[in-house]
Amino acid sequence: MAAALLRHLADRRIYVESAGVRPGEPDPFAIAAMDEIGIDISDHVPRGWDDLHDLSFDRIITLSPEAQHKALALAQGYAIEVDYWPAPDPTLATGAREQILVAYRDVRDRLFAKIKAEFAPLGAGGV
């Protein structure tokens, strides 16, 4: 969700890649939460760090302690800034569909606010 939000806000003025600790299948709850604000991520397939073929990044932003540890190890020897933005893991939410979506919306909205605040100087507008 974070990469899609930044791509949307930056309008292709910033190169963005997405990778996680564990590659996997598309998350229907993430797709639904993003669809609610008009961003289609239905074709996104979660990739792992090992799927990145190019490490020419200026900055890596991580959302979990495990990802932060991996990013710091990956960035050693490179001029890459590594930031940690702790975010709840919405995949741990339980209950009815609507309860789970509430967790995803919360993460989406937190990331949206953080990205807007952080990247506004780079020309990232609003949705």
Q: From CA 44, how far away is CA 73, in angstroms rounded?
A: 26
Residue at 43: amino acid letter: D
Q: What is the CATH number of the domain that holds 75?
A: 3.40.50.2300
**From its phi and psi, is residue 40 left (phi > 0), alpha (psi between -120 and 50) or beta?**
beta
Q: Is residue 25 part of a domain?
A: yes
pLDDT value for 34: 98
- pTM, two decimals, is 0.86
Give the pairing of strands 59-62 and 81-84: parallel
pLDDT in tens, 16-74: 888 888 888 899 999 999 999 999 999 998 888 888 877 788 999 999 999 999 999 98
Q: Is residue 64 part of a domain?
A: yes
Q: Is residue 127 part of a domain?
A: no
Q: Is residue 101 part of a domain?
A: yes
pLDDT value for 121: 61
Q: Is residue 18 part of a domain?
A: yes
Q: Is residue 98 part of a domain?
A: yes
Domain that holds residue 39: 2-122
Total number of domains in the chain: 1
DSSP alpha helix (H) spans, the chain: 2-10, 28-35, 65-75, 97-119
Helices 97-119 and 28-35 cross at an angle (nearest 10°) of 60
Task: Name which residue leads in pLDDT, 48 or 104.
Answer: 104
